[in-house]
Amino acid sequence: MSALVKGLTVGEVVKFELPLNYNRESITLKQNQIATADLEIGTVLKYASGWEPVVSGSESSAAAILLEKVSKESLAAVGGVKALALVRGPAIVDKDNLSVAEGVDLDAVVAALEALGIICRAEPTKQSVGL
């Protein structure tokens, strides 16, 4: 029997956002017939004639964070696939749970997201308070 692998949840990525879905939009991911893997919650996206994952060299174009898993089979669909994404601040996300391709400069991605009001912080560890 194979082990069950659990992906991230939205609550593990998004730590604060305004109510009534102000920060979220339904987007259409660009068709990708050669996708080799699913897009996970927390994948950082850019817009270049369609929404797609940030790659090395395009870090300053980071403009959204995917909020639902999208299968590689869905990405192959003609016309792309609809998905929910965090596209504007004010919001706080866990920097450690953002997903970017290998070779992508995470600091540059963070700077681009923070320019949109999406603050990226490392999840604080629990600290004991001495009395």
- Say if CB 41 and CB 9 are below 8 A apart: yes
What is the pTM for the complete model shown? 0.88
User: pLDDT tens across 25-35, in order?
Assistant: 999 999 988 88
- Say if CB 63 and CB 87 are below 8 A apart: yes
**What is the set of domains in the chain, with CATH numbers?**
20-121 (2.40.300.10)
- Say if CB 45 and CB 109 are below 8 A apart: no
- Say if CB 69 and CB 9 are below 8 A apart: no
User: pLDDT tens across 4-26, in order?
Assistant: 567 899 999 999 999 878 999 99
Residue 29, classed as helix, strand or coil, is strand
- Sign for the pseudo-dihedral over CA of 82, 27, 24, 85: positive
User: pLDDT tens across 46-104, in order?
Assistant: 998 899 999 999 999 999 999 999 999 999 888 889 999 999 999 999 999 999 999 99
